[in-house]
Chain A
Amino acid sequence: MPEVLRNDLFERAAGESKLSGFYVLRKCQPLIPGFLPQVIVYENSSTVINPETPALINSELFRAIEDGDIANINPNGKIRVILSRRANHNTLLLTERCDNRCQFCSQPPKDGDDSWLLEQAILAICAFNLDGEIGLSGGEPLLYRDDFIRLLDTTIEHAPRTRLHILTNGRAFADLSFTKSVAQRTEHLSMSFGIPLYAANSAVHDKLVGAEGAFNETVKGIINAGNSGINIELRFIPTSENAQELPFVAEYANRVFTNINQISVMNMEPMGWARKNWDELYLHPLEYPLILEYAAKITRQNSTPLYLFNYPLCQLPEHLHELSVQSISDWKNYYPEECSSCSMKSQCGGFFASAKGKFLQSPQRYI
């Protein structure tokens, strides 16, 4: 287990009842029947009040959660807190299927029907009933078109203060009638869509996402969504294949697209297929500062801001630090040894927890 800032993974004690699935974690009585079954978490056995109801006795877990957090307990007894009121990011996986095959996908898609994930997510969102943001990701979360609309409708009905941020490849929005039905819901529920565009041309984009025709659908999707009033965060991951495309994507976004709230440039995460293709794709940030600078210049002229995510500060020229957002989810980032004496540590997001060995570029601390 890497030393991340906040742990989200716990073990069920050997003797505990064989709970599995999604649960609302409760710290106090009474249990009110709701969208998901509930389980009481006790700090130690002496605090157990009602031995009749399902319970977990785990002091570490008890200290890590708030009343009403949501956990997924798998049949092997691993407890993952999937929605936490203390986390800086909460994300639900809607499906592992996808119509793209991105060379750097951190969650490599799987085939086969997994629509139960979306059903569970609906229940989890409603049970959690957060006044804040929940991320939805995949796979491709819009793949199950109508079910996704149902997710929106159920959220509007039962957890209307939730703000959804959906990470999608945007291809579904090429279908204008689907786009319209999502757009109608934006009146009742705050939502925004993170859509990656890796080039302003099909050759480069389609190659990176491993799917012919993806560029056409994604671009049309962004046009449709933006013109329908749907909020979009445009995403870009620089690799050795497409770093030089960034300024073009930035200009394209400003001239062609509407409703782009921000452009997010994200450092590649060494997870999934990115690990496998690392040597071909990885480009050290110091090899493209001019490109970042130029793209930032283009966007500064316009009202669309550009931000950098997941960059250790020591990998950016100093004048770009102001664009860098300390962003890595708190269960994903860590600081290698060297960082402890770095004067930037408090502003720096550090490294992905997954960046170890050859995936870790040595930190150049600021003294």
Chain B
Amino acid sequence: MKLMPFNFEPLDEESYFISNIAGFSSFVNLKQLESIIDFGQTFNPELDRLLENKLFISAPSSVNTAIASLASALGKRVTIGLEFKPIFMIVPTLRCDHSCKYCQVSRASINASGFDLDKKLIPKIIDTIALLSTPPYKLELQGGEPLLRFDLVELIYQLAEEKLGGDSIEMVIATSLSLVSDEIIDWARSRNVVFSVSLDGNQLVHDKNRIHPSGNAYQLAINGIKKIQSQLGMHRISTVTTVTDELIKNPLSLLDTHKALGLLDLFVRPVSPYGFATTRSSVNYSMQEYMQFYAQLWDGIKQYRAQGLPFVEHSAAIHIKKLFVPGFSSYADLKSPSGVVLNCVLFNYDGHVYGSDESRMLQKVNPQLDFSAGTVGEISFADSDYYKNLTSASFNFLHPGCENCAFLPFCGSDPCQNISMQGEPIGDKSLSTFCEYHKSMFKFLVNKYNTSADDKSLIEDWIHA
């Protein structure tokens, strides 16, 4: 048998995860790995057949077919990755009634002026969206706190409905829920609107970092969640959890908080290393500690599932889909080429347009440079050196460090993070938090998949989550 190119990653002393550019993967032990490399086979007929079927080795007479197949698979991945399927983010205001410690975008204080979107720009924004994409259109309202300007939210929806069609828009409002009134609920009832709220844990954990002048950020969020659930339905609200030093110590509290609310979907992630977050005292944990936290959370989820509560943690689900679902590339933050521009277009309150939320953060931290692609009505991503470099620098199979990594076909690249942390878009992977986080998650998941039947079946469930 002929050896075909592949990558491997050690999981523990004995087991290796192997993958190739087509995205096929499997597990072997060290002896088998060495035998494949030396002889092009393991001498275990069943395993050799599997390795041949997955293009790790090839019959001598089929080498050209294997080459054509690997190439076709890689080409397919790149073409799918290059499809332009953006989420449109709109920032109606940068003002916020909270002042969370790790707030990524920074924010403007509630009474500040000059931080709201000009009404007159909204029709142009909607026109631009119509021009750039096809239905269904995904709109995401970000802040600040979008509900501070509910009038703008209404107007955006109304114009989008008129121009794009009510059935072809889906709107997500990212909010802390402190301001959900009956008026807002009534408005949302007959519209394609869902709410996304940050929920970092129980009251203690949440209020430690999410600061509302009332001192009651948690209670406000909970009240809002219950209100939406009872009046609009369970599926109209989802949560996002940013892991802080407080939560790290008590992973199960997060599950209890969600369980009490009847919420079985979690979206858990470490604090983003952008701009402001890491300079604050709320994150002192290492990635290793994060993964210990995650392992405990995982076990907690498993226990609840055994009791009939099918929790799903969507960060892991995304990694799992990347591993096992060929062609899954709809998650902007974990893809190569990166999701910048291709998967996200952001209209900022000041009329500037960015190719990602992260670009807007970079702008905030580096005001002397221009990270935008112009202003509404006059956008060009192609004319911007920043976006040209970003996209071309985000093909991870060309990155040093990634080219030999077994998670390469499933991983992504985050050029914005690399610029923010390391000053250039490719970055040194050995120092990159992006790499450290995603590699840890992939390793954690494939190791679970390989070592326990229980975990394997959980992982297979989440493929469909």
Contact = CB atoms under 8 A, between A and B. Distances in A.
Contact of A302 (B49, B61, B327): B327
A298 to B, nearest CB: 9
Contacts of A255: 22-24, 73, 76, 326
Interface stretch (A45-53, A188-196, A246-254): A246-254
Given A227-B72, A258-B76, A301-B324, A200 B464 contact: no
Contacts of A213: 61
Contacts of A201: 49, 52-53, 59, 62
Contacts of A219: 65, 68-69
A58 interface: no
A314 B59 CA distance: 40
A248 B69 CA distance: 14
B53 A203 contact: no
Nearest to B52: A201
A367 interface: no
A254 B77 CA distance: 11
A220 B68 contact: yes
Contacts of A216: 61-62, 64-65
B261 interface: no
B252 interface: no
Interface in B70-84: 70, 72-73, 75-76
Contacts of B53: 199-201, 245, 248, 252
B438 interface: no
A241 B75 CA distance: 32
Nearest to B50: A248
A226 B79 CA distance: 14
A254 B69 CA distance: 12
Interface in A297-311: 297, 300-303
B54 A215 contact: no
B159 interface: no
B44 to A, nearest CB: 15
A94 to B, nearest CB: 27
Interface string B91-102: 000000000000
A223 interface: yes
Interface string B38-57: 00000000000110111000
A251 B464 contact: no
Contacts of B73: 255-256
Nearest to B77: A255
Interface residues of A, number: 27
Interface string A212-235: 010110011001001100000000
Given A248-B53, A251-B326, A255-B76, A301 B463 contact: yes
Interface string B324-344: 111110000000000000000
Interface string B315-326: 000000100111
B81 to A, nearest CB: 14
Contact of B464 (A226, A227, A256, A301): A301
Contacts of A252: 53, 69
A330 to B, nearest CB: 36
A291 to B, nearest CB: 14
B72 A203 contact: no
Q: By CB atoms of chain A within 10 A, which of B72, B327, B328, B463 has the most?
A: B72
Contacts of B54: 200, 248, 251
B325 A256 contact: no
A216 B72 CA distance: 14
Nearest to B62: A202
Nearest to B69: A256
A255 B65 CA distance: 15
Contacts of B49: 201
A62 B100 CA distance: 83
Contacts of B324: 301
Contacts of B72: 223, 226-227, 256-258
B88 to A, nearest CB: 24
A256 B463 contact: no
B22 A256 contact: yes
B326 A254 contact: yes
Nearest to A248: B53
Interface in B8-56: 22-24, 49-50, 52-54
B320 to A, nearest CB: 10
A301 B23 CA distance: 15
A244 to B, nearest CB: 9
A240 to B, nearest CB: 16
A301 B325 contact: yes
What 6 A-B pairs have minimum CB-CB distances, sorted nearest first? A248-B53, A200-B53, A254-B326, A255-B326, A301-B325, A216-B65
Interface of A: 199-203, 213, 215-216, 219-220, 223, 226-227, 245, 248, 251-252, 254-258, 297, 300-303
